[in-house]
Chain A
Amino acid sequence: MNGELGWKVGGEQGEGIDSTGEIFAWTLHRLGYYAFAYRHFMSRVKGGHTNYKIRVTDRAVGHHGDDLHILVAFDQETVNVNWNEMVGGGIVIADGTSGEIQHPETGDVHFCSIPLTGLAKESGSAIMKNMVAVGVTAAIVGLTPEDFLSVIEDRFKKKGQAVVDSNLSAVRIGYDYYNQHFSHQLRLPSRPVAIAPHHLYISGNEATALGALAAGCRVLAAYPITPATEIMYWLVKYLPEYGGVVVQAEDEISAVNMALGANYAGTRAMTSTSGPGFSLMMETLGLAGISETPLVIVDVQRSGPSTGLPTKTEQSDLYEALYGSHGESPRIVLTPTTIEECFRFAVEAFNLAETYQCPVILASDLYMGMSKGSIDSLDTSSVQIRRGKLVTQSELEGVSRGEFKRYQVSEDGISPRAIPGQKGGRFIALGNEHDEFGIEMEDQSMRVLQMDKRARKLQSFHELSGASASGPKDAQITLVGFGSTRGVIDEARTALMQQGLSVAHVQVSVVAPFPADLIRPYIAGAGTVLTVEVNSRGQLADQLRLQLGYHDKIQSCLKYDGDPMLVKDIVKRAKEVISVGSVN
């Protein structure tokens, strides 16, 4: 089984499917395994199919995996929807005694009907069926009910020892039932010997929120929207501990302008949203650009256009992040490629926003934001706070009020910045074109000087490398992705290499300013370039063509049906384009 196990629980939304998954994932994580969890859910509170997939591995991965070895099904739909993922020799646990849930066709799968709900009822309450299912799973993979105790305690201690006991006993009931009636076993991957001191189980959204807190962000203004709301939840819990505040704004226009106002006044602030909210923020991107006010916007992308598939992942806001808003002004677009990078880039977003005095868009996506994975550490020790050309009171010594050149035409395009309260720093931040003092004007030469100054700023951008590459520059096929697809592309590359192909992988983590020099050799030397994108237009491919050329060799592997990219999607498409295009 190649050091991994795919497990999934599915049923109707609102039946506790998530908590079953969480308990299983947390337990494995605490035992030292690596868990990666992906939640499939619908935009309704009750009813509709939902499932929670956990991939257990012996190493950190960034993908939930194509394969399924164990499926716990609370209803027929779960079997129908997920059957095609089952691998040979896999086990389906279907709720019921006989035949309530049917398997669609015979395959090499062990189909075990177990009265999960029935056993739960006997033990006191039907809602315990999830814990019974956990117990069954434990029996299959060779864990003991006691392995789940620490997680059960954490979850239910507040409700009293009796609740802890009854949950644990439900796990035991499932465990015993399976062992009495069935014997198929599946093995977990080998357990890592030493558990890293910061072996964390964390989502991209949590890592982003923690990064913001670490960066000194003390104001979050946001409006609830899936899949970004978890950032609000996390910060509403922790910002107050540090004197900060989460404002639930009346809409995203308000949210982004509050964040801008707070940044202008010298407190690091951000807003977090998804596509529909991001669309509402466009005008303020321009204001931040021309007024040179730092601004951090987190866009946890989801499927569009409009309300699209609101609980499904997509990477389709790239055009918007790069070009949204009228006029021309600099901006930085970061697309973190791992959970660790969500943290690091969230910290860096604030540093970059203040260094370059421009908007920074941190674009993750539902897959990155809401999936949870085990990682070995977050690099908290290298967190730095850099505030760019923010002046100190002593630097303003001798500047009399009205003389501070907030928009000084400087060589690097970045001007000194004062904040209200500082004496001698008085200026007007404004959306109108202005002179060096921030006075609105329409002088043509000053207009050009100011436009050019702003455009120049990002030429010195050096803080992040912008992309990472593995494999030869002259590969037969070079896979290029951005953001959350790093893990899946990496695995697809391995799979293709196992089939004898020479494959390179470039993962873009900064889309603007585009890391052209870094990427160019991998495009120039490649036989075929295949962008891997969760969108329908090939928005990254467009960037490659625009920034680097090579139109004739750039192809795309696109997915926009609502499901995340799988290894097999990439492998299939890669083989297609190679068999058509390649001469070797």
Chain B
Amino acid sequence: MAVLTDFKGEKPTWCPGCGDYGVLNALQRTAVDLGLDPEDMVVVSGIGCSGKLSAYFGSYGLHTIHGRTLPTAQGVKLANRDLTVLAAGGDGDGFGIGMGHFIHAMRRNVDITYLVMDNHIYGLTTGQTSPTSDPGFVTKTAPKGAVEFPVHPLSLALSAGCGFVAQGFSGDIPQLSAILKRAIQHKGFSFVNIFSPCVTFNKQNTYEFYKSNVVKVDDDPEYDAGNLGLAMAKIEQTQSIVTGVLYEHNRPTYEDSVPNYSKTGLATAQHVLTEADFERLLTQFQ
């Protein structure tokens, strides 16, 4: 059984205090708790500070291009459904350049887990407005404050038919780890948005802000994650400053829905056509 050090990759180079450390730690713990083998896991990451996650985590990794984590991760999973596949990236990666893929990945429901390290800013490129930046938020590209309406990832995910919608906070590793565990175990596409403060470029969406404002769904004894209406209402009431598993609903996965798709990892088999196969296939041209 793998232990925590087995899930360590390169030494992180994030700024001291960056929220992404918390995400990495929570993910490592989760992997240990789930008894996963690092070499049966793939982390596909995007471009951004967040995208470095694949290098710092001890599994196989694919550090892809900006915004394309989800298509790539779905490709990995379709090639070998026996693997545990995670996609990870920033709010710019996922809700800016990659937004189209996000919505379609939720519809498609390939069994992967998507982590967005949402710091409401473009970190790696040193501080521009992101699609989740709050209105009025001042950045280098919006010196007078952001004017566009922000993306609301949670309600968007719910309306796109996502079967697992959760939000975590990198300042609460035990809770985040518990969420990630359920997300990975969920059969189908699971989405975990994570408040992951950028201590260098975002002085507004800080640890302190989340610590004092975040509402946990688990604190609400009435809350039922199986109820879409409640999930929508909760998001509305809390203005999305909420953590926990907001919604879980099992829908057949893509892998289980496409006709005749291999029940075992395609990558683990040889794919050779026999003479009889060719004879059969060629009759249509005769």
A residues whose Cβ falls under 8 Å from a Cβ of B: 30, 198-202, 206, 210, 213-214, 216-219, 221, 238, 240-245, 247, 249-251, 253-255, 257-269, 283-284, 287, 291, 378, 380-381, 383, 385, 401-402, 419-432, 439-440
Contacts and interface: CB of A to CB of B under 8 A. Distances in A.
Q: How large is the interface on B (under 10, 10 to 19, 20 to 34, 35 or more residues)?
A: 35 or more
Interface in B3-51: 6, 9-10, 37-42, 44, 47
Interface in B43-85: 44, 47, 52, 54-55, 58-65, 68, 70-80, 82-83
Given A210-B281, A284-B65, A421-B39, A266 B260 contact: no
A440 B62 contact: no
A383 B281 contact: no
B76 A261 contact: yes
Contacts of B73: 261
Nearest to B286: A200
B267 A243 contact: no
A243 B268 CA distance: 12
A250 B265 CA distance: 24
Nearest to A267: B79
Interface stretch (B138-146, B168-176, B193-201, B269-277): B269-277
B266 interface: yes
B271 A261 contact: no
Contacts of B37: 423
14 contacts: A240-B261, A241-B260, A257-B65, A258-B72, A260-B75, A261-B44, A267-B267, A268-B271, A269-B75, A283-B68, A380-B273, A383-B273, A421-B80, A428-B62
B75 A259 contact: yes
Contacts of B61: 427-430
Q: 5 tightest CB-CB pairs across the interface, nearest first?
A: A261-B75, A243-B262, A266-B267, A216-B271, A267-B79
Contacts of B58: 401-402, 426
B63 to A, nearest CB: 4
Contacts of A267: 78-80, 266-267
B78 A258 contact: yes
Contact of A254 (B60, B71, B77, B285): B71
A265 B75 contact: yes
Contact of B6 (A216, A378, A401): A401
B258 interface: yes
B59 A429 contact: no
A401 B71 contact: no
A249 B72 CA distance: 11
Interface string B134-155: 0000000000000000000000
A240 B72 CA distance: 21
Nearest to A238: B281
Contact of B39 (A198, A242, A261, A425): A425
B181 interface: no
Contacts of B267: 265-267, 419-421
B104 interface: yes
Contacts of B54: 428, 430
Nearest to B60: A420
B259 interface: yes
B62 A243 contact: no
A257 B47 CA distance: 14
Which of the listed residues A242, A283, A291, A383 has the most CB atoms from chain B within 10 Å of its own CB?
A242
Contacts of B78: 219, 245, 247, 258, 261-262, 267, 269
Contacts of B272: 216, 385
Contacts of B261: 240, 243-245
B282 interface: yes
A247 B105 CA distance: 12
Contacts of B100: 250-251, 254
Contact of B79 (A265, A284, A401): A265
A284 B101 CA distance: 15
B186 to A, nearest CB: 20
Nearest to A215: B271
Contact of A244 (B74, B82, B262, B278): B262
Interface in B240-257: none
A380 B278 CA distance: 7
A381 B276 CA distance: 11
A429 B75 CA distance: 14
B271 A219 contact: no
B138 to A, nearest CB: 31
A420 B80 contact: yes
Given A380-B278, A421-B268, A202 B60 contact: no
Interface in B180-210: none
A261 B76 CA distance: 5
A364 to B, nearest CB: 17
Nearest to A29: B286
A283 B65 contact: yes
Nearest to A199: B286
A206 B260 contact: no
A158 B116 CA distance: 51
Contacts of B103: 250
Contact of B40 (A250, A420, A430): A420
Interface in B95-118: 100-101, 103-104, 108
A425 B83 CA distance: 14
A338 to B, nearest CB: 15
A24 B267 CA distance: 43
Contacts of A206: 285
A244 B270 CA distance: 12
B115 to A, nearest CB: 17
Contacts of A255: 71
A319 to B, nearest CB: 22
Given A261-B78, A265-B42, 6 more contacts: A206-B285, A258-B75, A261-B62, A421-B82, A426-B59, A429-B63
Which of the listed residues B38, B267, B281 has the most CB atoms from chain A within 10 Å of its own CB?
B267
Which of the listed residues B73, B268, B272, B275 has the most CB atoms from chain A within 10 Å of its own CB?
B272
Contacts of B275: 380-381
A210 B73 CA distance: 27
B260 A240 contact: yes
Contacts of B270: 216, 385
B273 A258 contact: no
Nearest to B263: A243
Contacts of A422: 39
B112 to A, nearest CB: 10
